[in-house]
Amino acid sequence: MFLDGQWVQAVSGDVFSVTNPATGEVIGEMPDGGAADTTAAIAAASAAFGSWSTTTAYERSAILYKAWQLMVERSEDLANLMTLEQGKPLKASRFEVSYAADFLQWFAEEAKRVTGEWLPSARANQRFLSIKQPVGVVGAITPWNYPISMLTRKMGPALAAGCTMVLKPAEATPLCAKAVFDVFVDAGIPAGVINMVTTSTPAPVGEVLTSDPRVAKLTFTGSTAVGKMLAGAAAANLQRVSVELGGHAPFIVYPDADPVHAAKGAAALKFLNSGQACISPNRLYVHRSVAEPFIETLTARVAKVKAGSGFDDGVGVGPLVNDAAVAKVANQVDDARAKGAEVPVGGERLETGDYANGHFYAPTLITGVTTDMLISHEETFGPVAPVMVYDEVDEVIELANATNYGLAAYVYTRDISTAFKAFEALRFGIIGINDVNPTSAAAPFGGMGDSGLGREGGHEGIDEYLETKLGGFAI
């Protein structure tokens, strides 16, 4: 763990093992921290806040730029580590490291754009000035599915704003978190500014982060259930909260869309990170008039996706994170089958040969999906593309919006008017119009409803770590 500028063991001396999800092999071990370690980390972050928050934006920016450069220089090693620990294909790991580095560069730039305002007063002898200041110590909890970029998406803006931090990375991917911290240490981050508690048992760490009065803000990315629980605990202490949670993205193909192009987009998007992405499409609504060519193209594409170790050439889908994830996917597919869906591709666990010791599920296509099936409303987080054919164009937005989640939605149309109407009417934070990658460090990422609160990235990203202070000056 990393406390006050030092790599240390847990107070208890306990450690936990980290495994490769493709092979089950142990690839490392990390200190198994708990409440006492978290309190010590908060103390370090709190002590460092005074000096870090009063550095100039230019000084903080310089460290973030250096970290960006180091991450780019180390990208091949970081990508290899990510594939080993998280399982995604090496090409996808390289892409994630590049995306992660973008946040460091972007917030190195944004650090220098935190400004105030000179406001008008109705009184001739009064002046108003508002300024932005860092909120204080930030508690950050991150998931395993994007084990490097989810860290930089929080650390970049928090550090740029002048906050200090305590990070708790996911138990499945602490080695990637350690590598990110190495980057910051080598970039010259002062002792105490960033601290990390690793653990195999997150609840006690979460309890301390949400109850210690020295923590001003909680930022969390993970499941809706845990996010709601932590946000509730944080609310009891009036901590500021941003939570990026689950999703159930609709993917709408309008009758005027090019169905082959749309099917290629769906195949490319659905199997990213083995479907373990919060913006992964979970309901493909295809108009009946274009359903045949869409399903034909998608069937051919899904049949070509190869599952395996992320280090093997030609592999498009790596392992899932654990057995529970495979069981959840299998349960949804079995439920759909039992309720009348067809499964033209995949639909089974991969458990023999090279797959024997990993957590694999076959790339799968399901057609004839109906609203009574689990998969039509429960997040899958696995490599399954469920297709629902619709008839009424006027009703598809309502179908798409019929979820408590509100993170991402996708639309395929060649009609500009349909595109604008869908963009405005879909109740989601991110809309891809003929676009399967509507994400960037420069753009706000986040959801509505059960998908969370707040935005990361873009101009909005740094606001989550700033307080507004008003000065009224009688002259």
Residues of span 392-421 touching ligand NAD by CB under 6 A? 407
Is 251 one of the binding residues for ligand NAD (CB under 6 A)? no
Name the one range near ligand NAD by CB under 6 A: 47-55, 138-146, 335-343, 367-375.
Answer: 138-146
146 or 360: CB nearest ligand NAD:
146
171 or 312: CB nearest ligand NAD:
171
Q: Single out the residue of 226, 262, 336, 397 in contact with ligand NAD (rule: CB under 6 A).
A: 226
202 or 265: CB nearest ligand NAD:
202
Q: Single out the residue of 143, 318, 449, 457 in contact with ligand NAD (rule: CB under 6 A).
A: 143
Specify burial of residue 216 (Cβ count, 10 A radius: 0-12, 13-18, 19+).
buried
Residues of span 331-390 touching ligand NAD by CB under 6 A? 379, 381
Least Å distance between CB 290 and ligand NAD? 29
378 is catalytic: no
Find out whether 40 and 48 touch, Cβ atoms under 8 Å: no
| Angle of CA points 159, 147, 193, to nearest 5° | 25
**Could you tell me how far CA 16 lies from the centroid of its own chain?**
24
244 is catalytic: yes
Name the one range near ligand NAD by CB under 6 A: 48-56, 68-76, 143-151, 309-317.
Answer: 143-151
Dmax over CA atoms of the chain, in Å, equals: 81
Q: Which of 85, 96, 110, 244 is catalytic?
A: 244
Is 144 one of the binding residues for ligand NAD (CB under 6 A)? yes
Q: Single out the residue of 61, 219, 221, 242 in contact with ligand NAD (rule: CB under 6 A).
A: 221
State how far the Cα of 285 lies from the Cα of 369, in Å rounded to an integer: 10
Cβ-proximal residues to 416 (8 Å cutoff; 6+ apart), any chain: none
Is 49 one of the binding residues for ligand NAD (CB under 6 A)? no
Q: Which residues bind ligand NAD (CB under 6 A)?
A: 141-146, 168, 170-171, 202-203, 206, 221-223, 226, 230, 244-247, 278, 379, 381, 407, 452
